[in-house]
Structures are given as structure tokens and as C-alpha cells.
Amino acid sequence: MILKTPPRIVKSSFVKGATNKSHFPTEDLPEIAVAGRSNVGKSSLLRFLLNNRKLVRVSQTPGRTREVNFFSIETKEFQPFLMADLPGYGYAKVPVSMRKEWGVYITNYLYNREQLKLVILLVDARRGIQDAEVSFVNWLKEIKQPFIVVLTKIDKLPKTKWGNEQKKVFNKIFIKPLVFSSIKKLGVNELWQKISPYLMPAENNK
């Protein structure tokens, strides 16, 4: 099912923050994960997508989010699902040893989480796609994990440059990214359209 407008959210709630695998929710619900560098706007995107400012904490101190934060979402259009806000990678102020530890944690989650349907990879529009992100995309392709790429903070660039930034990303990974801004409230319809094929339609959807 592909939506023309965002789904009607009946309820969205914080499930838990998990610092290791044994804390991951065990319900067998389809899951969508939001990944990207620290400070790229993962939590802001979730807030805007779920239309719930109170639900998702936006970090004051980037790079400190160590846990995978799980949110459960009930809508009129789909069966319940979870969204996972992953810890950001590559924040310069974090010691290398800790960065490695996080890398392993996130990679294990992405590789082993059976209910994971889709990864939303965020790329900062001003920085463009970096080598680390290109490697990450290649790895997702290799493990056959479906994903989409979103250029965030697009409001920081004039509209005349958006197409060119999208093309630069395409030239490196052969995927056209969506443009998105949590501040200017841009791109949420397009994002839901990309997400919806990975969700199960509600049985009595009206």
C-alpha cells in the first residue's frame, strides 16, 4: 500500500532505550531504523515523522546517545510497528575505542535483527555523502538490507542547489536521496511513501 498523505497516527510511545541486545524489544513487530552520523538529525526526523515533539529527545550534546531507542507506532492504515533511533556514529569528540564499540553494536543490530524491514540513512545536505556513508551503503547492499537515503537539513541550502546535491549522492551510490527538513517541515509525505511498502496494511483499514 502506498500512501498519498501521512498515515493517521493513533498512538506513538517510547518503548525503551537498549544498550545491549538483551534489552531489545522481543515483540515480533516490523521495525524501521533511522541511522546516520551523530547530529545529522535522526531524532528530529522521527519527531517530525511521528508528529510528536514530546516523544523523541533531541540531543543537546551530540554523540552521547549510546542506546538504540525504540518507539512503537499505531496508525489507522497499518498494523503496529516499531521505529528504532540508532546511536549516531563518527562523532569526533568520542574516543576511538568507544566509536569502535558503537560500530560493532550497530552493525550487529543491523545484521541480526530479523524484524528489521527498512533502514533510513540520513546524510547531512551540507556535508554531502562521505566515504564512511558510501561504505555503509555498500555494506547494506551486500547484506541485502533494504534502505533509503535522506538528505537532511536541506533548509540550509538554497533550493537551486538541491538537485545538484541529489545528483552528487546519486553519482556515488546510484540511489537518488529524498530531500528533507525537520525545521522547514519538508519531505514527510515522500518519506512515508517510501516507508509504507514495508509495513503491513491494517486488517480493517478504512
Ligand X SMILES: Nc1nc2c(ncn2[C@@H]2O[C@H](COP(=O)(O)OP(=O)(O)OP(=O)(O)O)[C@@H](O)[C@H]2O)c(=O)[nH]1
Binding interface with ligand X (CB under 6 A): 36, 38-44, 58-59, 62-63, 65, 88, 152-153, 155-156, 181-183
CB of 184 to ligand X, least distance (A): 7
Q: In angstroms, rounded to a whole number, what is the distance separating the alpha carbons of residues 147 and 164? A: 22
Which of Mg ion, ligand X, none lies near 41, with the C-beta cut-off 5 to 8 A by kind? ligand X
44-83 residues near Mg ion, rule: CB under 5 A: 59, 65
Measured from each CB, the residue nearest to Mg ion is: 43
Beta strands in 37-158 (DSSP E): 68-75, 81-85, 116-124, 147-152
Which of ligand X, Mg ion, none lies near 152, with the C-beta cut-off 5 to 8 A by kind? ligand X
Main-chain phi, psi angles of 149, to 5 degrees: -120, 135
Q: What's the longest Cα–Cα distance across the chain?
A: 51
Which of Mg ion, ligand X, none lies near 63, with the C-beta cut-off 5 to 8 A by kind? ligand X
What does DSSP assign to residue 139? H
Verify binding: residue 43, Mg ion, rule CB under 5 A. yes
Verify binding: residue 182, Mg ion, rule CB under 5 A. no
Which residue in 147, 143, 116 sits closest to 28, CA to CA? 116
